[in-house]
Structures are given as structure tokens and as C-alpha cells.
Amino acid sequence: MIGAMGYEHLLVDVEAPIATVTLNRPRVLNALSPDLIRELTTALSELDADDSVRAVVLTGGPKVFAAGADISDMADRGAVDQLRRDQTGRWAPLAGFSKPLVAAVNGYALGGGCEVVLMCDVVIAGETARLGQPEINLGIIPGAGGTQRWPRTAGKYVAMEAMLTGQPIPAQRAYELGLVNKVVPAEVTVEIAKRVARQIAEKPPLAARMAKEAVLKAFESPLSEGLASERKSFYFLFATEDQKEGMHAFLEKRKGVFKGR
Ligand code: CAA
């Protein structure tokens, strides 16, 4: 069935200043088929360009986040075919999404599903959440950033155990390891994620964008380069109307109203 915004495998709900994107292939635990990935990256590109949206919640709904790439689509493919389709390369609009992304994770977030979580900026996990990279059981390894983002997020040994055993990590343990921000009852995961997104959406959007960019830079560059980039963004923000508004609002003891300019 095609939803209101023309997506077959997604629900997209814009309640400006936030939007919620729900993966919607429940029969196969939101397995990430090429069509679903195409729809998701298209929706994200549109939301990135929509000035009324300042933060996005990404969820799989109340039962499952996503059980990974669609195995039925991959089982008989060859290496050249896979390389030509470059399914994992298609995640660029998610990895490069400029606005804050809050993941709301209930149930399994496995394989590509877990890698999607690792591309989000804040992760709210329901008590039922289980994060893992079971690719090893299929004779492959993660292909959408898992081998790189796990160690950068939770360290070498946690990453190795996840990749080599394929065992998923339950929510509470994921919290202790710094893989998720908060664990909440599953029935309120999405609501709490929306609350966090609304809180972020009240902030000056250019500052939020640069804060996100600066933190992500820490994953990719030597300290000196990250510091130089942070410094440039810091000075740049003094050219924005929102910086004037933010500082004057503080001095005038009122709440700032930010326009993203
Ligand atoms: N791809 C395709 N179909 C999937 C799927 C997947 N990744 N995960 C689940 N499904 C389907 C099942 O085949 C089943 O379909 P049928 O009802 O038609 O048989 C349906 O979803 C329900 O699944 P189960 O009956 O298996 O449900 P369960 O509760 O017994 O088990 C589970 C849940 C442990 C998540 C199990 O489904 C599972 O192990 N799934 C595969 C997880 C996995 O290996 N993910 C990695 C994929 S590879 C990858 O993601 C590569 C990458 O990095 C890009």
C-alpha cells in the first residue's frame, strides 16, 4: 500500500519543527530492501532541504527497528553485481544528513539496522532493544559502516565481540557501553525521542548543524584538524542573526527565538 507521501515502505510524519520517519515493512521485521533504502534516503534528502524541519526522529515503530539488509534480496547475488549496485554506498544521505537525527529503537536493530542507528546522533532505546551485527553468521561482514562506527563508539573489544560472535547486545548493556543515550519503557520510546527532537529543534539550527558536524569530525580527523574546523565554525556562527538573538535574549532575560539565519 502506498502511504500519504507516496512511500510504500515508510511513514513520514512532519509536525514542524520535527519530522518522524517510520520504517514500515513489519512482515519482514523492516528488512532493508533496496526499495526501502531508496525511499528512506529520498525522504531524508527532502527533509534535509525542508527549512520547517529542524530535527528528525527515525524509528521502526513499537516492535522492531530493523533486522538488517534484506537477505532474500542478497542471497544469490555475486560480488560484481553487489559492487555495481553499491547498496551500502547508498546510505550517504543518512550519513551526511545535516540536521540532528534521533533514533527511537525498539526490538531488534541488527546488521544494516544497527548501522543505521550508528549513523544517528542521539539514540533512545526501548527496554526491548537489541543491537547487533550478525553478518558473520551469513558469511559476510557489516557493509554499511559497522566495523568502523562500532569501535569509534564503544571501543575495540566491544566491537570485536559484536562482529565476531554476532550476538546482539540488550538495551541496558548497550547503555552501559555508551551505544545508546537512554533506555526507556518500549511503549514510550518514540514519544521520548520526539521530546528530545523537539528540545533540539528549539535551538538555533545553524549552531545545531555545526555542533553535529564538529562532533562527527572527531571521528574522522586528527585532533589538530578537528580543532581548526571547530574554531572556524565557532567564528562563523558570529555572522548569524541567531547568535545575536541568543546572546541578547540571555542578557535581556528572555527566551531566544531562532530563525536559522
Ligand atoms: N532479511 C529478510 N527477511 C528477514 C530478515 C532479513 N534481514 N530478518 C527477518 N526476516 C523475515 C524472516 O525471514 C521472516 O519471514 P517469513 O515470515 O516470511 O519466514 C520474518 O522476517 C520474521 O522473522 P523470523 O521468523 O526469523 O522472526 P524471529 O522473531 O524468529 O527472529 C530475528 C528474529 C532474530 C531478527 C531473525 O529474523 C534474524 O536473525 N534475522 C536476520 C538478521 C540478520 O542476519 N541481519 C543481518 C542482515 S545482513 C546485513 O544487514 C548486511 C549489511 O550490513 C548491509
Between the CA of 61 and the centroid of ligand 1 the distance, in Å, is 16
pLDDT for position 86: 85
For residue 134, is the peptide bond before it cis, meaning its omega torsion is within 30 degrees of 0? Answer: no
Phi, psi of 43 (to 5 degrees): -60, -40
Nearest-CA residue for ligand 1 atom 37 is 67
95 in Cβ contact with 158 (< 8 Å): no
Give the residues of the chain that fall short of pLDDT 50.
none
Phi, psi of 25 (to 5 degrees): -130, 60
Pocket mutation for ligand 1, best pick of 23, 28, 29, 86 (most atoms within 8 Å of C-beta): 29
pLDDT for position 234: 98
Between the CA of 29 and the centroid of ligand 1 the distance, in Å, is 7
pTM, entire model = 0.96
Nearest-CA residue for ligand 1 atom 28 is 29
| Residues forming the active site | 69, 112, 115, 135
> Which residues have CB under 8 Å from 34's CB, separation 6+?
70, 73, 85, 87, 90
Which contiguous run of DSSP H or E holds residue 126?
A: strand 122-126
Between the CA of 119 and the centroid of ligand 1 the distance, in Å, is 21
- Give pLDDT tens digits for 198-256: 999 999 999 999 999 999 999 999 999 999 999 999 999 999 999 999 999 999 999 99
Which contiguous run of DSSP H or E holds residue 83?
A: helix 79-85
pLDDT for position 230: 97
Q: What count of Cα atoms within 13 Å lies in the side-chain half-sphere of residue 131?
A: 30
Nearest-CA residue for ligand 1 atom 18 is 28
Between the CA of 109 and the centroid of ligand 1 the distance, in Å, is 11
List domains and CATH numbers for the chain. 2-201 (3.90.226.10), 205-251 (1.10.12.10)
Q: Which residues line ligand 1 (CB under 6 A)?
A: 28-29, 31, 67-72, 88, 108, 110-112, 115, 134-135, 138, 142-144
